Amino acid sequence: MSQPKQLESPLYALIHNEKVSTFNAQKPQDGVVDLSNGDFRGLDLRALDAQGINFTNAYFRGADLRGLDLRNSQLEGASIAHAQISGAYFPVELTADEILMSVNFGTRLRYNTR
């Protein structure tokens, strides 16, 4: 299993320093932003434009994800242990049980492919 890490990306640095509005302004409007395996522990990400971001295997322990629209983000393998998720939208491939298991026990999110 991959471990979360500090990424060598200027966009990641903006998020990690909680400069979310600056990230949103600099984020490319088309294409995918690869932030896979990133460490987002404890960050306040409520205002993040998560459209098209690849968060595969990312780590969000204790992060504030309230109100985020993650429907068009890749979250497979991510962990949202003890994250605040009230009002967040998740990809349709994630079941409510899968999300709750990750919040409560830190399991990695697995997509339902049926």
In this predicted structure, which of 33-37, 44-48, 68-72, 110-114 has the lowest mean pLDDT?
110-114
Whether the CB-CB separation of 88 and 71 falls below 8 Å is answered with no
| pTM for this prediction | 0.93
pLDDT of residue 86: 97
- CA dihedral sign, ordered 73, 13, 43, 5: positive
Residue range of the domain that includes 36: 1-114
Total domains in the fold of the chain: 1
Across residues 74-85, what is the average pLDDT?
97
% of the chain surpassing 70 pLDDT? 97
CATH number at residue 57: 2.160.20
pLDDT surpassing 90 at residue 96:
yes
